[in-house]
Amino acid sequence: MNNPNSVEVIDLSHYWQVIRRNLKSIILLSFIATLIAVLIALVITPVYSASVTLLIESEEAKVLSIEEMYGLNSASDEYYQTQFEILKSRDLARRVAEELNLENVAEFNPYHPSNKKSFNFKSMILGEPEPPTDAEILKATVQSFWRAVNVAPIRKTQLVKVSVQSESPELAQRAANAMASGYINSQLEAKVGLTQQAAGWLTDRLGGLKDKLDVSERKLQEYREANGLVDVEGVNTLVAKEIDQITEQLINARARRIELRGTYEQLQSLDVKTFESLSSLPRILNNPLVVKLRESETEVELKVSELSKRYGPLHPKMIAAQSDLEAVRESMLTQMMRIASGIENDFVVAKAKESSLQEALNNSKKEVRELNRTEFALSEHLREVSSNRKLYDTFFNRISETSATGDLQTANARVVDPAILPDVPVKPNKKLMVLLAIVVSGMFGVALAFLLDILDSTIKNADDVDRKLDTPMLGLLPLIGSKKDVAKSELLVRAFVDDEQNGFRESVRTVRTGLTLASMSEPAQVILFTSSVPGEGKTTSSCNIAEAFGQMEKVLLIDCDMRRPSMAKKFGLPGNKPGLSNAVAYPDTLDECIQTVNELGIDVISAGPIPPNPLELLASKNFKEIVEKLRGRYQRIIIDSAPIHAVSDALYLSTIADGVVYVVKADSTSDKMANKGLERLSDHNARVLGVVLNQVDIKREAKYAESYAGYYDSYGYMSDPKS
């Protein structure tokens, strides 16, 4: 126990012993609690529950088709949660309470005349209260009924159960069905009211839309008249075709100008327009007329060449041929000049035509831009008129539908399974109450037993000696008879030699064996017996153990309890005989102080006359000398001293004795007191041989501790000749 490295282990057997030790008390407590639970269950008024099953379907909105626009699903979780909360609402409970006149039912109306008895105690203290108003009565009734209603949705379905609890099964049935019908009626009323409200709003809105449509149509007509528009699409098509034609002509004119531009620039670069310079221009040379004249020139040149071979330059034929050649060339030059002049004129005309077409194209584009602006403004007016007309038509159709179907509303819920008359109450659950009473009271009894065991610091058995005192146990002495008999009996000091006390005799021998084994390594000739407080049986224990040693050795028993001596009386010794106080005062009279008890086989020194200063007497030199002298005469000396917490006699005597036996009374001595006494002995370097557990109820311990069962009985510890 004192080893810091040791592992703490829960001793389940100890807890089991605690339960077995207090089993009768636990059973008694459980029986009383169960009996009370049975009486309460019999007295409590039974409560019945009736349930109605509703089917709540998804509801589609009819005022505006927002769901279709945004793809929303009206049968969402939020919708059903909203319906469940409506079923749980106090407003619905109020409707049902008023319908069933629950104000006249004492169960739900706390102000009912039959419930006035509950106000007597309060009236005695605070006086007679003012009578409640009708509103307060209705509020209290609704609150009571609302608490009796339970709404339980069935998962993964559109079903919901509405239950109502009441002391009357008929009322529970009617209230459950009334809750269902009240919910359906409230939904219908809400729909009708919403339809009427929507119809009124649509009617007001329709008038405004009509005015807006008229204004937009009037603006469109005024704009057409202001801009002289008849058919914008026809004008737009005509202008487009005109632009296409001008563009095509402009392209041809630009190509013509570009074609003539090269020849024109060559002609402008000539300083003098001669036959040779004009002949260098391909456009002139390729002219068909010039080509024909050149052919004629070639023929004339061939003729001149042939004639020059025959005739001289002055020959008339040569002159005529030369004249023809010059005429041809002059004609060719004239034609070439005419062609050059025509080319110049064509270039100027082509350039002017291109400029004219370009200007016409620019004007057409400007006209188109103006037409686009007009068309855009016209489109705005047309869109406004179209939008207003569509919105007006939509509202007109919707108000027509709403007005036509306003009286044909249907509820989104219906009763699937109406409530039936309950025949079995839902509470109190008598079996469950009794079972819980048994279980809870049993658990409470066990917990109370553990608590009492924790609070109980007394030493009961050998296990407690090991756990609480951490001191070797020499043995235990069983309880003989009842404790009252023990207190009155003076025969216990002779119990060891009593033939009827076989169990007690064996237990004393066990202690004797323990003392013998404890003193084998270091002999303990003088053994001191002490205890924590008076009445623990140290005198009885020391006497019987002395008698046990007397069968084997020469033993002397000394009564050193100088304040409350009892040994002489218990052994029946003569009262006029000297004792220890006489021997210490007059050492020469030691032999006279020793009295022999032949039937026990031991010698006894009684306390003698009570001195005024017992501790000083025991601490004297004479007492030490007497003890040393007696060591030479006896093999074993047993000293019975005063309790260690009462006086300090035992602490001093422990320094003289070879060993100390600490006597603990079972079910009486606390562990703190015993540990404190052992600590005091340890502080004075006393040799504690062990603990003797006295007055142990063996029969009781054998019932609860398996370590006692069988062992003591088989060796006669529990034997009782009278039984």
In tens, the pLDDT along 497-553 reads 876 788 888 889 999 999 989 888 888 999 999 999 988 888 889 999 999 999 999
- Answer whether residue 214 is part of any domain: no
Q: How far is CA 397 from the centre of its chain?
A: 53
Contact 600, 497 (CB under 8 A): yes
pLDDT in tens, 4-45: 454 555 667 777 877 877 888 889 999 999 999 888 888 888
Does any domain span residue 220? no
386/450 same-domain check: no
Q: Is residue 155 located within the same domain as residue 181?
A: yes
Q: Average of pLDDT values for 199-209? A: 66
Domain residues for 398?
232-408
- Say whether 165 sits in a helix, a strand or coil: strand
**Mean pLDDT for the chain?**
78
What distance in Å separates the CA atoms of residue 617 and residue 623, rounded to the nearest whole number?
7
State how many domains the chain has.
4
331-372: pLDDT as tens digits:
777 777 777 767 777 777 877 877 887 887 777 777 667 666
Same domain, yes or no, for 171 and 291? no
Position 621 in a domain: yes
Q: Is 660 exposed, middle or buried (0-12, 13-18, 19+ CB in 10 A)?
A: buried
Rounded to whole angstroms, how far apart are CA atoms 298 and 294? 6
Residues contacting residue 497 through CB under 8 Å, at least 6 positions apart: 547, 599, 600
- 335 and 438 co-located in one domain: no
Distance separating alpha carbons of residues 27 and 377, to the nearest angstrom? 101
| Mean pLDDT for the stretch of residues 52-66 | 64
- What is the 8-class DSSP label of residue 365? H
Write down the pLDDT at residue 576. Answer: 80
Q: Tell me: pLDDT of 128 over 60.
A: no
Compute the distance between CA of residue 75 and CA of residue 682 in angstroms, rounded to an integer: 85
- 560 falls in which pLDDT band (50, 70, 90)? very high
Residue bearing the bigger pLDDT, 434 or 18: 434
As a whole number, mean pLDDT of residues 167-173 equals: 89
Please tell me the predicted confidence (pLDDT) of residue 527. 94
Looking up tokens 């009370």 gives 36
251-255, 379-383, 445-449, 557-561, range with the lowest pLDDT: 379-383
Model confidence band, residue 706 (pLDDT cutoffs 50, 70, 90): low
Return the pLDDT at 530.
93
- Asked whether residue 321 is assigned to any structural domain, the reply reads yes
pLDDT at 80 over 90: no
Average pLDDT over residues 280-292: 69
| pLDDT for the residue numbered 182 | 87
Q: How far apart are CA 448 and CA 457, in angstroms?
A: 15
Say what the pLDDT of residue 460 is. 79
| CB burial readout 390-424, b (16+ within 10 A) else e | eebeebeebbeebeeebeebebbbebeeebeebee
User: Which pLDDT score, from 0 to 100, does residue 216 have?
Assistant: 74
Kindly state whether residue 605 falls inside one of the protein's structural domains.
Answer: yes
Residue 486 pLDDT grade (very low, low, confident, very high; cuts 50, 70, 90):
very low
User: Mean pLDDT across the stretch 108-122?
Assistant: 67
Asked if residue 466 and residue 403 are part of one domain, the reply reads no
Q: What's the pTM?
A: 0.50
Distance CA 415, CA 316 (A): 143
pLDDT-derived band at 717 (thresholds 50, 70, 90) equals very low
pLDDT of 722 reads 39
Say what the pLDDT of residue 365 is.
Answer: 73
d(CA 488, CA 690): 28
Mean pLDDT of 427-448: 87
For residue 75, pLDDT beyond 90: no
For position 63, what pLDDT does the model report?
Answer: 43
Together in a domain, 445 and 591:
no
d(CA 533, CA 106): 67
Among 193, 223, 247, the domain-final residue is: 193
| pLDDT score of 120 more than 70 | no
631 or 409: which leads in pLDDT: 631
Q: What pLDDT shows up at residue 200? A: 63
Domain termination site, one of 193, 208, 223: 193
Residues 6+ apart with CB under 8 A from 409: 188, 191, 192, 195
Q: Pairing state of beta strands 473-478 and 159-166? A: unpaired
What is the per-residue pLDDT for 558? 93
pLDDT of residue 529: 94
Same domain, 341 and 438: no
Identify whether 611 is preceded by a cis peptide bond (ω within 30 of 0).
Answer: no
Q: Is the pLDDT of residue 240 over 80?
A: no
Is the same domain home to 504 and 371?
A: no
Q: How confident is the model at residue 375 (pLDDT cuts 50, 70, 90)?
A: low
> Is residue 421 a part of any domain in this protein?
no
Q: Is the dihedral of CA 339, 341, 344, 346 positive or negative?
A: negative
The confidence band for 70, taking pLDDT boundaries of 50, 70 and 90, is: very low
Lowest mean pLDDT among 79-93, 219-233, 636-650: 219-233
CB 546 within 8 A of CB 661: no
Question: Which pLDDT belongs to residue 224?
Answer: 64
Classify residue 534: in a domain, yes or no.
Answer: yes
The reply to whether 169 and 265 lie within a common domain is no
In the chain, the amino acid numbered 306 is E
Above 80 in pLDDT, residue 165?
yes
Q: What's the pLDDT at 404?
A: 55
pLDDT at 716: 46
pLDDT of 715 strictly over 50: no
Lowest mean pLDDT among 179-193, 472-486, 539-553, 560-574: 472-486
pLDDT score at 276: 61
Asked if residue 651 lies in contact with residue 682, where contact means CB atoms within 8 angstroms, the answer is: no
Examine the domain organization and report whether 251 and 269 are in the same domain. Answer: yes
The DSSP code sequence of 414-464 is EEEE------S--B--HHHHHHHHHHHHHHHHHHHHHHHHHH--B--SHHH
Of the pLDDT bands very low, low, confident and very high (cuts 50, 70, 90), residue 487 is: very low
One domain, residues 481 and 613 = yes
Three-state DSSP state, 654? helix
Output the pLDDT for position 605: 92
pLDDT in tens, 604-643: 999 888 888 888 888 899 999 999 999 999 999 999 999 9
Shared-domain flag, residues 348 and 290: yes
Burial 146-168 (b: 16+ CB within 10 A, else e): bebbebebeeeebebbbbbbbbe
Sheet holding 159-166, edge to edge: 149-153, 159-166, 48-56, 413-417
Residue 304 is assigned to a structural domain of this protein: yes
580 in Cβ contact with 607 (< 8 Å)? yes
Please tell me the least confidently modeled range out of 394-403, 610-619, 669-678: 394-403
Over 90: is that where the pLDDT of 73 sits? no
